[in-house]
Amino acid sequence: AGQIITFTYPHIGNYGVNDHDFEASKPFCRGVIVREMARRHSNHRAEDSLDALLHRFGISGIAGIDTRRLTRLLRDTGAMPGAFGTAPEADLRAAAAGEAGTDGVDLVAQVTTPEPYTVSFDPQWARPGHTPRRIVALDFGIKTTILRHLSGLGTVEVLPASVSAADVLEHRPEGVFLSNGPGDPAMVGYAVDTIRDLVGQVPIFGICLG
């Protein structure tokens, strides 16, 4: 979220895209860099091209870049501000220099659900004889596949990242799931407070925030 993605594989877009495979409501990156974009996709499940997807969501992309060289540079120096486009080089350099980056930014607030929603228990993902449970998932940037598998455990109430412990406990959960999400966990102190207040009151499990 909030960053430009560099793909290291030289040929991107061969498989195309389809909405069924989306892991979020939309892409949250700010740009895409590739060595070569496939001119046509060839997978039978594809509904559109990667290029069309970027256009649909207003995400800028650039091809013809030596992405492996760029990756080595990023490996040695770490993430850095960047800009690309059709503007004069001086303007692009100024844009990159003025980029604040993601340090100190609450990226979770950009990707969390704005409203609670429910994912119903789905028996096809459950073990035989499993008794459905009540689960609350705190959405720090949760992936669709995770929700699909959680639905095999029971009904999942997905809540915005900013909810309080009291909000969570109102749902009488038998477990609270802390989702994956982007950025520095230090920037989501409100979530830390909620989790601290939940410890000892309900089982908590989670995956990779930050």
pLDDT for residue 130 is more than 70: yes
Task: Tell me which amino acid residue 162 is.
Answer: S
Residues 6+ apart with CB under 8 A from 55: none
Domains assigned to the chain? 4-97 (3.50.30.20), 108-206 (3.40.50.880)
What pTM did the predictor assign? 0.86
pLDDT for residue 73 is more than 90: yes
81, 101 contact by CB (below 8 A): yes
Q: What is the band of 210 on the pLDDT scale with cuts at 50, 70, 90?
A: low
User: Between 167 and 186, whose confidence is greater?
Assistant: 167
Helices (H) and strands (E) in the chain, counts: 7, 10
Element (H, E) at 144: helix 144-150
Alpha helices in 32-139 (DSSP H): 50-56, 67-77, 89-97, 108-111
Q: What is the pLDDT of residues 79-106, one digit of tens each?
A: 889 999 999 999 999 999 998 888 889 9
